[in-house]
Amino acid sequence: MNNCVIKLEDLKKNYKMGSVDIYALRGINMEILEGEFVSIMGPSGCGKSTLLNVLGCLDKPTEGKYYLNGCDISLLDDDTLSDMRCNYLGFVFQSYNLIPQLSVVENIEIPLYYQGVSPNESRKKAIEIASRVGLAERLYHKPTELSGGQQQRVGIARALVNNPLVILADEPTGNLDSKSGKEIMDIFIELHTQGKTIIMVTHDENIARYGERIIRLKDGLIEKDERVLSKIGATT
Amino acid sequence: MGFKSLWLHRLRSLLTMLGIVFGVASVIAMLAVGEGASQVAQEQIRRLGSKNIIVRSVKPALEQKATGQRSRAIEYGITWEDATRIRSSIPDVEVLVPNRIIRDVVWNTQWRVDGQIVGTVSWYPEMRQLRIIEGRYFTEPEVAGIKNVCVLSINTITDLFPNGSPVGKSVRIGSDYYKVIGIIEDEGGIGTASQSQNFLVQTSETKNTTERRSENLSYQGKMGKRDEGKGPGATPQYRIYIPITAAQKRFGETLVRRTTGTFEAERVELHELIVMVNMENRVEEVARVVDSILQKYHKQRDYELTIPLELLRQAERTKQIFNLVLGTIAGISLLVGGIGIMNIMLATVTERTREIGIRRALGARKRDIILQFLVETIIMSGTGGLMGIGLGLFIPYLITYFASMPTIIRLWSPLVAFGISAGIGIIFGIYPALRAANMDPVEALRHE
């Protein structure tokens, strides 16, 4: 039996927007096992992003428990949360979020820098990861000199470089055409087959079906948690 | 990392740094000018001798316009008798130097200078700490024997003897010839600026000026007082030293001055009397006694006292005030530079909100973000400080070169300036850095 890496117990999150209280998450219960590839789907405003922020330790839950690798996140201080992000999580963003001043390899190195890895070793590691996602030729280019698909590969490489427990992807193909989108998803499938735990937020049914499990959110609650029977990735 | 982002905004960083650059440069330059000026002033005063009291004859104000009495000579000033009295009544007095100072033209065949002929005694150079550059000074027997010998101050040489050493040759003053036996250092000191040359070495010869000091200006507060029309760049004092006996004999007691259309005769026994006290801490006391002795025998105040020691103290006080003012100005300019840096850093933080969000999401702690921005500020202010030191070391050189003002750069001044600039970087960098670190990562990531 695989380990449970993420466990949510009646997780609630409200925040104030102006004078209005917004109940973004209203009691989520779920478990995600090591090696799972989970897609989180739902219409806009259903709480997808809020859930991803909480899962990514960027935001603390208002109520309820969130265990990441067995550790209760709601009890941790800011520095420890940073350490959790640094050691257990890898982020892939819709808009890539690369630092434009830095080259490809430098962007990939950022998480290692905060882990305190020596410059030599982190350079070696970054180059290795970059080659794995097909960026060996582009190491010293600036992000602006790359196509969208290539930029997202940099994003994935950066999320992988610290060998995280969970990869959190927020609409990773949202800014890409379907061809590069598929290439990116192929990388995710490959990572999944290597045993990585992936949680991906999307509102595209076709993309969601690359995963093996789809969690559908509606109005801050889980509407449906289903297994994917005809996986796209498996058929291609 | 810090260098990189600064390099990316080269122009902006440079402009931001300029505040610090000029702040630091002005600190160093101002300190150098201040030190230079005070050094010269102190050197001048020290040359007068910290154990000396200088008594000078001054034409009294009341007697000056004795209307229509052109034929009568005006009699004033310190006398031989005064000298004897001071010598015999004050035990602390070690040496006395009486001087007569006469203005006349000095000739060497066709070359001439408007000189000051100083009739004095053989131990004069020793008292004034003047160095003999060539030849020798006249001796006591020469003074006693009323010999026509003279010693020239070094600055007269170029105008009077452009063709080589004057020692052994003769100069003519009036109808008398004097054998040149030596060359002596200028009283202003070698290599000092002309500005300060007039600073203290005032001539005792009385000028036809109506402006005369009031009675209460006795022996205090003479710093900075100058003869009129002798600003920086005025002609230097050409001095020719002869035995005082010769001065008395050849020029007589009565001196005649020709001013436009009138003759003015004055009778002055001694123009200057230097009293050397045996101990430095007795100088001021002795000065008071000298003053009271002179007061007793002089109906009007036709003399003035100068105490170099007093001037030295005054110079030190002035320097302290000067430093305080400079410090304030420099402090303000550095403050302005610091605010400039803070301003830019705040703008940078806003501009890079998204980067901060990304870094936070990838595992940066608050302190990593603080460090990142603080390092940038410190690099900026530190580089600005170094550039400022470069500029600050160069400016005094320019000042010395073009304005011929002496400047002295003390080793500590660039160090202090650099330390302050680095400190400013930290102080003004902390707030923007904290602001960056305290951003909500979720908000920061959403920032466009």
Can you tell me the distance from the alpha carbon of B141 to that of B143, in angstroms, rounded to the nearest whole number? 5
Q: A21 forms bridges with which residues in the sheet?
A: A16
Mean of the pLDDT values across residues A139-153? 93
Query: What is the structure's pLDDT at A196?
Result: 92
B19 & B66 share domain = no
Q: How confident is the model at residue B213 (pLDDT cuts 50, 70, 90)?
A: very low
Of B361, B367, B368, the CB nearest to A58: B361
B131 shares its domain with B247 = yes
Give the SS3 label for residue A102: coil
- Partner residue opposite A85 with nearest CB, options B5, B363, B366: B363
Are B266 and B118 contained in the same domain? Answer: yes
* B320 and B297 within one domain: no
Chain A residues touching B8 at Cβ < 8 A: 101
Same domain, B389 and B423: yes
Residues of B in contact with A53 (CB under 8 A): 442
Predicted structure pTM score? 0.69
Residue numbers in A near B441 (CB within 8 A): 58
Contact A44, A24 (CB under 8 A): no
- Average pLDDT across chain A, whole number: 90
Same domain, B277 and B399: no
Q: CA angle A90-A96-A99, nearest 5°?
A: 95
Would the pLDDT of B215 be above 90? Answer: no
Closest CA to A46 of A228, A217, A225: A217
The answer to whether the CB atoms of A83 and B365 lie below 8 A apart is yes
Nearest alpha-carbon partner for B190 in B40, B397, B57? B40
Contact between chains at A101 and B4 (C-beta distance less than 8 A): yes
Is B26 inside any structural domain? yes
Asked if A154 contacts A136 with a C-beta cutoff of 8 angstroms, the reply is: no
User: What does the CA dihedral B261, B66, B306, B291 come to, rounded to 10 degrees?
Assistant: 160
Question: How big is the A-B interface in CB pairs under 8 Å?
Answer: 59
Q: Is A88 on the interface with B (CB under 8 A)?
A: no
pLDDT at A107: 94
- The pLDDT tens digits for B105-128 are 888 888 888 888 888 888 888 877
Q: What is the CATH number of domain A35-58+88-235?
A: 3.40.50.300
How many angstroms from the chain centroid is the CA of residue B32? 13
Residue A230 to chain B, least CA–CA distance (Å): 34
Both B279 and B159 in one domain: the answer is: yes
pLDDT at B314: 86
Q: Do B365 and A79 touch (CB under 8 A)?
A: yes
Better-predicted residue by pLDDT, A201 or B323: A201
Q: What is the token pair recorded at B261?
A: 């259309």
Band of the pLDDT at B330, cuts 50, 70, 90? confident
For chain A, say whether B355 makes contact (Cβ under 8 Å).
yes
**What per-residue confidence (pLDDT) applies to B199?**
33
B67 has pLDDT over 90: no
Nearest CB partner across the interface for A79, out of B4, B359, B366: B366
Position with higher pLDDT, B200 vs A49: A49
Is B368 touching A (CB cutoff 8 A)? Answer: yes
> Which chain B residues are closer than 8 Å to A22 by Cβ?
none
Q: Three-state DSSP class for B211? A: coil
Q: Which of B362, B365, B375 to mutate to test the interface with A (most CBs of A within 10 A)?
A: B362
Handedness of CA A26, A31, A35, A36 (dihedral sign): negative
Q: Verify whether the Cβ–Cβ distance B362 to A111 is below 8 Å.
A: yes
Q: Is the pLDDT of residue B318 over 50?
A: yes
Name the DSSP letter for residue B156: H
Closest residue of A to B358, CA-based? A97
What does the alpha-carbon distance between residue B269 and residue B267 come to, in Å, rounded to a whole number?
7
| Token pair of B47 as six digits | 């040359």
Residue B229 lies in a domain: no
Sign for the CA dihedral angle at B176, B177, B179, B180 comes to positive
Write out chain A residues lying below 8 Å of B10, CB-based.
Answer: none
Residue numbers of A between 40 and 79 with CB closer than 8 Å to B: 53, 56, 58-59, 78-79
Q: Is A98 exposed, middle or buried (0-12, 13-18, 19+ CB in 10 A)?
A: buried
The string of pLDDT tens digits covering residues B30-66 is 888 888 888 888 877 777 777 888 888 887 765 555 5
- The Cα–Cα gap between B24 and B18 comes to 10
Sign of CA dihedral A115, A198, A129, A135: negative
The pLDDT assigned to B432 comes to 94
Q: CB–CB of A79 and B442 under 8 A?
A: no
By Cβ distance, the residue of A59, A102, A114 closest to B362 is: A114
Q: What is the CB neighbour count within 10 angstroms for residue B218?
A: 17
CB contact under 8 A, B362 and A93: no
Q: Check CB contact under 8 Å for A101 and B8.
A: yes
The answer, for A85 touching chain B at a CB cutoff of 8 Å, is yes
Cβ contact B359–A114 (<8 Å): yes
A82 neighbourhood in chain B, CB within 8 Å: 360, 363-366, 368
Check whether residue B354 and residue B278 sit in a common domain: no
| Same domain flag for B33 and B78 | no
Q: Which residues in chain B touch residue A102, judged by CB atoms under 8 angstroms apart?
A: 4
Backbone dihedral angles phi then psi of residue A72, each to the nearest 5 degrees: -75, 110
Query: Three-state SS for B56?
Result: strand
pLDDT at res. B191 = 34
Q: DSSP H helical segments within B253-307, as ranges? A: 283-297
Contact B24, B419 (CB under 8 A): no
A172 touches chain B (CB under 8 A): no
What residues are paired with B182 via a beta bridge? B135, B151
B363 close contact with A: CB closer than 8 A: yes
Q: Which long-range contacts (CB under 8 A, 24 or more apart) does A71-80 make?
A: A78/B365, A78/B366, A79/B365, A79/B366, A79/B367
Residue A215, number of CB atoms within 10 A of its CB: 23
Count structural domains, chain B: 2
CA dihedral B315, B316, B320, B326 (to 10 degrees): 50
Which residue ranges make up each domain of chain A?
Answer: 35-58+88-235
Given B247, B270, B301, which residue is the final one in a domain? B301
- Kindly state the tokens that stand for A132: 């794995």
Say yes or no: B147 and B36 in one domain: no
- pLDDT at residue B221 greater than cutoff 50: no
- Shortest Cα distance, chain A CAs vs residue B402, angstroms: 46
CB distance from A94 to chain B under 8 Å? no
Question: For residue range B77-89, what is the model confidence (pLDDT) as tens digits?
Answer: 888 888 888 888 8
- Measured between beta carbons, the chain B residues lying within 8 angstroms of A56 are 361
Decide: helix, strand or coil at residue A38.
strand
Q: How far is CA A105 from the centre of its chain?
A: 20
Q: Which of B276, B301, B326 is the last residue of a domain?
A: B301
From A95's Cα to the closest Cα of chain B, the distance in A is: 10
CA-nearest residue of chain A to B366?
A79
Tokens representing B64? Answer: 């000056």
- Mind telling me how many Å the CA of A3 is from chain B's nearest CA? 24
Q: Is the pLDDT of residue B406 over 90?
A: no
Section B249-265 average pLDDT: 70
Q: Provide the token pair at A28.
A: 């989520």
CB nearest to B355's CB, from A85, A99, A115: A99
Q: Which of B259, B274, B301 is the last residue of a domain?
A: B301
- pLDDT at residue B257, as a whole number: 62
Interface touch A114/B364, C-beta < 8 Å:
yes
- State the pLDDT confidence band at B256, using cuts at 50, 70 and 90: low
Structure ipTM: 0.93
Per the CB < 8 Å rule, is B362 touching A58? no
What range defines the domain where residue B149 resides? 59-187+237-301
B358 touches chain A (CB under 8 A): yes
Q: What confidence score (pLDDT) does residue B229 get?
A: 36
Tell me, yes or no, whether B110 and B181 share the same domain. Answer: yes
Question: What residues have CB less than 8 Å from B117, skipping those under 6 apart?
Answer: B101, B102, B103, B104, B106, B173, B240, B242, B247, B251
| Contacts B3 to A, Cβ<8 Å | none
Return the top range by mean pLDDT from A36-40, B225-229, B270-274, B304-308.
Answer: A36-40
Confidence of residue A157 (pLDDT cuts 50, 70, 90): very high
B18 lies in some domain? yes
Highest mean pLDDT of the ranges B100-104, B284-288, B357-361, B420-424: B357-361
Q: What is the rounded CA–CA span in Å between residue B312 and residue B43?
A: 9
pLDDT value of residue B1:
65
With a pLDDT cut of 70, the percent of chain B lying above it is 84
B370 and B430 together in one domain: yes
- Summarised one tens digit per residue, pLDDT across range A163-212 is 999 999 999 998 899 899 999 999 999 999 999 999 999 988 889 999 99
> Which pair of structure tokens corresponds to residue B63?
């007697």
Does residue B308 belong to any structural domain of this protein?
Answer: no
What is the mean predicted confidence (pLDDT) over B424-432? 91
A18-34 pLDDT, tens digit each: 888 888 899 999 999 99
